[in-house]
């Protein structure tokens, strides 16, 4: 499949999603569909899909203890073991997972190998992907957290604190959020490396572009809505609160840009459980990261440990008894 096609289809899909909310101009019932029904369906898809996928994973057992070990094992008392990279107890595993989830520890190790003249391989640190990925995920988290101002009343104080931290800069009278900038830059980087790097381009699927374009769409619509195409923020919050209290009411003054933003967000969260974005809960399930390197000290149980065909010693000796006896190797049966 042509690479351009892999980008064009997702781009077309996102464009359609941006145009769909124009239907809200038809009147209050169309507005109700976009403001209430679609988001509710998306939330239902998100939660049920998420739980379904996680439960499906959990239904398969972990038959073997297979951590990827990155440090000295715990063996002799005088050899210092690597508590994090060769975790021996639950605390160590928790710490290893914490560093993995919050700081992308494995990706931090990233290097690049270059083959230069004289059959020499040169390794260099390559932390751009780590930095871009970390910047994107943390910004996304902070932005989602900031959105709690729409979903809590009175506003959840930590959301206010984080908002204040995030708004250190102002442009004219408007508050500019640092995270808005960072997420735009990092998403652009993540998108361009999929287009520019020949290898990453080669491995990218349409779904990789779709995820990036959808999130870019959400971010751009959000930023534009804050800065240029204003919406009635008050009406937005009243809508959110009305939905949380199960008495949905739509204010007709809310504004088209909001519906575009909401449409993209709804699609994103509905798509989440059925996409690679499930790496979020997935990392917690990863047996190479969440297991202890103690497999010789504690027996790991495999629930389907079925018997297999074995060649017993008796069968072996039956075949080789004569030469064994001739060679003076002890045997069980003399005949």
Q: Which of residues 113-142 bind another protein (CB under 8 A)?
A: 113, 115, 119-121, 123, 129, 133
Q: Cis (ω within 30 of 0) for the bond into 154?
A: yes
285 binds another protein, rule: CB under 8 A: yes
Long-range contacts formed by 64-68: CB under 8 A, 24+ apart: 64/300, 64/302, 65/287, 65/291, 65/292, 65/294, 65/295, 65/300, 66/287, 66/288, 66/291, 67/287, 67/288, 67/289, 67/291, 67/292, 67/293, 68/288, 68/289
List the structure tokens of 55: 């439960």
Binding residue (CB under 8 A) for another protein from 186, 204, 221, 266: 204
Binding residue (CB under 8 A) for another protein from 69, 131, 185, 256: 69
Binding residue (CB under 8 A) for another protein from 11, 36, 106, 176: 106
196 binds another protein, rule: CB under 8 A: no
Cβ contact 273:255 at 8 Å? no
Q: Which of residues 150-179 bind another protein (CB under 8 A)?
A: 150-156, 159-160, 163-164, 170, 172-175
103 binds another protein, rule: CB under 8 A: no
**32/151 with CB nearer another protein:** 151
199 binds another protein, rule: CB under 8 A: yes
**Distance from chain centroid for Cα 277:** 5
181 binds another protein, rule: CB under 8 A: no
94 binds another protein, rule: CB under 8 A: no
User: What residue spans of the chain are helical by DSSP H?
Assistant: 3-19, 28-32, 38-59, 90-103, 105-108, 128-146, 148-151, 157-166, 178-196, 198-203, 206-227, 233-244, 256-271, 279-285, 313-327
Q: Closest distance between another protein and the C-beta of residue 165, in Å?
A: 13
**139/293 with CB nearer another protein:** 293
Span of 16-24, 26-34, 213-221, 226-234 interacting with another protein by CB under 8 A: 226-234
Binding residue (CB under 8 A) for another protein from 20, 23, 71, 83: 71
* Backbone Cα Rg of the chain: 28
Nearest to 313 by CA among 283, 284, 333: 333
335 binds another protein, rule: CB under 8 A: no
Cβ contact 217:263 at 8 Å? no
Q: Closest distance between another protein and the C-beta of residue 307, in Å?
A: 9
Scanning the structure block, which residue is given the tokens 């160590």?
Answer: 92
Binding residue (CB under 8 A) for another protein from 19, 26, 44, 244: 244
Q: Which of residues 21-40 bind another protein (CB under 8 A)?
A: none
**33/148 with CB nearer another protein:** 148
Q: Which of residues 253-272 bind another protein (CB under 8 A)?
A: 253, 255
């Amino acid at each position: 499949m042509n690479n351009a096609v892999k980008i064009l289809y997702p781009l077309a899909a996102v464009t359609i999603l941006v145009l769909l909310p124009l239907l809200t101009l038809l009147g209050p019932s169309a507005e109700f569909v976009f403001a209430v029904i679609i988001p509710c369906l998306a939330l239902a898809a998100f939660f049920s899909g998420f739980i379904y996928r996680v439960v499906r994973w959990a239904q398969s057992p972990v038959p073997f203890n297979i951590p990827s070990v990155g440090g000295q094992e715990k063996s002799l008392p005088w050899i210092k073991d690597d508590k994090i990279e060769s975790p021996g107890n639950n605390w160590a595993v928790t710490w290893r997972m914490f560093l993995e989830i919050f700081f992308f520890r494995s990706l931090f190790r990233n290097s690049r190998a270059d083959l230069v003249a004289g059959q020499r391989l040169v390794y260099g640190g390559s932390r751009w992907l780590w930095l871009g990925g970390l910047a994107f995920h943390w910004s996304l988290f902070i932005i989602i957290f900031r959105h709690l101002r729409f979903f809590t009343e009175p506003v959840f104080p930590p959301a206010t604190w984080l908002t204040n931290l995030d708004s250190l800069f102002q442009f004219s009278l408007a508050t500019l959020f640092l995270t808005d900038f960072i997420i735009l830059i990092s998403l652009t980087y993540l998108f361009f490396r999929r287009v520019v790097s020949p290898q990453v381009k080669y491995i990218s699927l349409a779904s990789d572009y779709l995820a990036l374009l959808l999130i870019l769409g959400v971010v751009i619509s959000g930023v534009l809505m804050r800065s240029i195409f204003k919406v009635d923020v008050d009406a937005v919050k009243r809508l959110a609160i009305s939905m949380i209290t199960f008495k949905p009411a739509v204010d007709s003054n809310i504004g088209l840009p909001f519906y575009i933003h909401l449409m993209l967000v709804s699609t994103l969260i509905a798509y989440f459980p059925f996409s690679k974005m499930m790496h979020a809960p997935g990392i917690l399930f990863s047996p190479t990261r969440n297991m202890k390197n103690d497999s010789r000290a504690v027996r790991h149980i495999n629930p389907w440990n079925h018997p297999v065909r074995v060649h017993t010693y008796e069968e072996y000796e039956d075949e080789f008894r004569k030469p064994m006896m001739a060679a003076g190797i002890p045997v069980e049966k003399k005949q």
